[in-house]
Amino acid sequence: MVSEDAVDLQDVVVRYGATTAVDGVSLRMFRGRVLALLGHNGAGKTSLLQVCEGFRSPDGGRARVLGLDPIADHDALMPRLGIMLQSGGVYPWATTGEILRLFASYASNPIDPEQLLDLLGLRKIERTRFRRLSGGEQQRLSLAIALVGRPELVFLDEPTAGMDTEARHTTWRLIEQLRTDGVSVLLTTHLLDEAERLADDVVIMRSGVVAATGSPAELTAAAGIDLLSVRAEPSLTLDGRLAGLDIKENTPGEYAITGPLDATTIAEVLSWFADAGARVTAVNTRRRTLEDVYLALTTGEKAAAKR
């Protein structure tokens, strides 16, 4: 069974009444990978995760997790999964230590709760009841609960939401450690740097459908257009010699050149500046970031959702 995909979704549909939250999503996640589901709030990320976790059955399509049906094979699947919910799910009147030890007691071969308490910086709040914890502390405990049973596959729903910068970096290092140790990780996020840093594969969702998939590098490369910016005197006359390239003076003296840029065309651009007698003081190239791709793909979604 080891050859089974971590997650295999085919045409999954999730509806809430008249609203369609997920509208036919297919995706495969291989074992040992870190996959980030990226999208605005309401794009359908959490709904999709709920299907994978067996919390709801899809209104259409088929879901397989570790080769099993999340609902029909629920009891066989659960010990192999680590689940981190966005919020709640924990006895408010139990302490951090009690909760972590409870979940450890469910597992045949748990990570020592004492070690996890230290690793996730929970030692100081070991005897604090859950309802007294800050949002970030609750998140860290939820993450510890997800990991304590040594799962094969973990689902992390916005794992760093509500965390301060330090806790966020700790969590990122932890997720990198999970990958190193061979754990498959499916996480949702709307933080682009999080996806870019952690994910082997990124799935961008928009309004319940998959807008793009690929590694962060593939997504940025496929989007193509790099940017060349040149600083020189303001108000140079832009003539037609650079056909195919688009030159704009965005702010006085700052020229942005877009189009099919490569070594040859960049050289042409610079010689054009030289021929125009310009004194060039700075030249920068910039690759498109995941953020550019993401914004290009998802812009207009919120406006569309309001209509």
Partner 1 sequence: MSGTFAPAPGRAPMRAVLRSQVRMELTLTARRGEAVVLAMGVPLLVLLGAGLTHATNVPGGDRLAFVVPGVLALTVMSTAFTGQAITTGYERSYGVLKRLGASPLTRPGLLFSKIAAVLGLIVVQLLVLAAVGVAVGWRPHFGQLLPAIGITVLATAAYSGLALLLASVLKPETTTAAATFIYVLMLAAGGIMFAAPNLGTAGWFILPLAAHAEALRQTLSHDAAVPGSIWLSLSLWTLVFVSAAARKFRWE
Which residues sit at the interface with partner 1, rule CB under 8 A?
53-55, 74-75, 78-81, 83, 85, 87-94, 98, 101-103, 105-109, 111, 115, 119, 147, 149-152, 177-178, 180-183
d(CA 243, CA 231): 20
Of 98 and 292, CB closest to partner 1: 98
Of 146 and 212, CB closest to partner 1: 146
Q: In DSSP terms, which residues pair with 246 in a beta bridge? A: 258
Q: How near is the Cβ of 276 to partner 1 at its closest, in Å?
A: 58
Of 152 and 194, CB closest to partner 1: 152
Find the farthest-apart pair of alpha carbons in the chain and give their distance in angstroms, rounded. Answer: 76
Q: How near is the Cβ of 190 to partner 1 at its closest, in Å?
A: 21
Q: In DSSP terms, which residues pair with 27 in a beta bridge? A: 9
CB atoms within 10 A of CB 193: 13
Q: Residue 149, class by beta-carbon neighbours within 10 Å (0-12 exposed, 13-18 middle, 19+ buried)?
A: buried
Rounded to 10 degrees, what is the CA torsion of 78, 106, 104, 172? Answer: 0
State how far the alpha carbon of 12 is from the alpha carbons of 24, 183, 290, 295, in Å. Answer: 5, 24, 26, 25
Of 98 and 233, CB closest to partner 1: 98
The answer to whether residues 90 and 99 touch, using CB atoms and an 8 Å cutoff, is yes
Of 156 and 211, CB closest to partner 1: 156
Q: How near is the Cβ of 108 to partner 1 at its closest, in Å?
A: 3
Q: In DSSP terms, which residues pair with 35 in a beta bridge? A: 186, 201
Element (H, E) at 105: helix 96-105
Q: How near is the Cβ of 68 to partner 1 at its closest, in Å?
A: 13
Of 81 and 232, CB closest to partner 1: 81
Q: How near is the Cβ of 138 to partner 1 at its closest, in Å?
A: 11
Q: How near is the Cβ of 42 to partner 1 at its closest, in Å?
A: 19
